[in-house]
Structure 1
Amino acid sequence: MRERVITWLKDNVSDHRLQHILGVEQLCIELAHCHQVDPQKAAQAGLMHDLAKFFPRAKLLEMAKKEMAEIDPVCATNPHLLHADASAMVARDTFNIQDEEILNAIRNHTLGNPQMSDLSCIVFVADALEPNRGQTPELEAMRQVSWQNLYKSVQQTSEYSLKYLIQTHRTIHPRAILTRNWALHLSKQQLSLVNKKP
């Protein structure tokens, strides 16, 4: 299965993107072992998270219209945001992935989602923190957090993305803010539990 996906990716994404995808796959496996999540599921979600990354805008909109009751206004004007949903469709229809947790992890890797599973959190974080993204002190510090506290890592990853979107004057999808607030709440909860321990 893995080789079949990689062969498909070689025909449908750039070499640079493929290196990113393989970096995400590897980091997903490592984070899954760290946070007691099924590493095979994490590997599959990581490998397939960007299947539709290079699909044209028109194709992304056409695929979304077939599956979604409605396309929200932000995605309608920024169809590249739909590549996560479209990637899950390709994983299901081309590679017969039926596991909803894997499909949701693929769907959630760009904007996140409040209440998302630990598997989704891992793919969301790995997409931003895999080694090919760079070695800046900020990214290195975020990588350290990803091993220690998954929800804190989701919060930091969300804030990192939001900061970039603000600095580059791009539209922010409301779900990105909801994801950040959800992760912030959970990481604060975890911290208070740790502080209460005798």
Structure 2
Amino acid sequence: MGEFAGLRQRVLHWLASNVPESRVEHVLRVEQMAAELARRHGVEVSKAAQAGLMHDLAKYFKPQVLLEIARAEALITDPVDELNPHLLHADVSAVVARDEFGIRDPEVLTAIANHTLGRPGMDHLSCVVFLADSLEPGRGSTPELDILRQVSQQDLHKAVWMTCNHTLNQLIANHRLIHPRAVATRNWFLQRARPKAEASAS
């Protein structure tokens, strides 16, 4: 625990110098919600908190810096990455966690990398951080968000595809590009959740 406390202080100090205070507040809410969801779903709480704390390390990197790091790490998988480099910040945040803070746990690094676009087949730790980022209390209080938060307490797979639907609807309404990985994530989790719904209905 002492080791994590020391790491946490280093990360918070780094964040204070690299992101606005409002973003630090978001990060702390994600850390807390990720830990709460992890506890609820039998996921290792310390890993969820760690990934939540470091999920936005590269959030305010300039587009060219994101692209340079992503190219060096072979993270670019689609033309949308080039057209909207901000979408790379999750994958690049995992690189920063590895290189700046010495994080080697592949589950934690993957959860950081998956927090924006998700990924088909992602594990429960990644689901927890993905949902915490999208649904933390600072995102607002609407009937739809409140339902998503309730579902996230009960069924991670269902919550992921419903949250993807929510995000995709917003992107379509605002005429924004959609990364194929986000669609693939939504489809994979919808397919996984469907058999559960059919089984409970029969």
Q: Shorter-chain TM-score category?
A: over 0.9
RMSD (Å), alpha carbons: 1.1
SS in 1 for 2:61: coil
> Is 1:61 the equivalent of 2:80?
no
Structure 1 equivalent of residue 89 of structure 2 = 83
Q: Give the conservation status (yes or no) of the 8 Å contact 2:90–2:114.
A: yes
Q: Give the conservation status (yes or no) of the 8 Å contact 1:64–1:71.
A: no
Instruction: Return the offset for 1:137.
Output: 1.4
Cα 1:190/1:44, change in 2 over 3 Å: same
Which letter does structure 2 place at the counterpart of 1:174?
P
Which letter does structure 1 place at the counterpart of 2:17?
D
Partner residue of 1:165 out of 163, 168, 171: 171
Runs of 4+ in 1 over 4 A off after TM superposition: none
Which letter does structure 2 place at the counterpart of 1:114?
P
Structure 2 equivalent of residue 147 of structure 1 = 153
Please give the TM-score of this superposition, normalised by the length of structure 2: 0.94
Which letter does structure 2 place at the counterpart of 1:177?
V
> Which whole-Å CA distance do the structure 2 matches of 1:124 and 1:69 have between them?
19
Cα 1:187/1:69, change in 2 over 3 Å: closer
> Is 1:115 the equivalent of 2:121?
yes
Unaligned ranges ≥5, structure 2: 1-6
SS in 2 for 1:141: helix
> Is 1:41 the equivalent of 2:44?
no
Q: How many residues align?
A: 196
Which letter does structure 1 place at the counterpart of 2:70?
A
Partner residue of 1:6 out of 1, 12, 29: 12
> Which whole-Å CA distance do the structure 2 matches of 1:123 and 1:167 have between them?
25
Please give the TM-score of this superposition, normalised by the length of structure 1: 0.96
Instruction: Return the offset for 1:69.
Output: 6.7
> Is 1:177 the equivalent of 2:167?
no
SS in 2 for 1:10: helix
> Which whole-Å CA distance do the structure 1 matches of 2:42 and 2:196 have between them?
17
Instruction: Return the offset for 1:9.
Output: 0.4
Q: Percent identity?
A: 55
Instruction: Return the offset for 1:189.
Output: 1.9
Unaligned ranges ≥5, structure 1: none
Q: Give the conservation status (yes or no) of the 8 Å contact 2:93–2:112.
A: yes
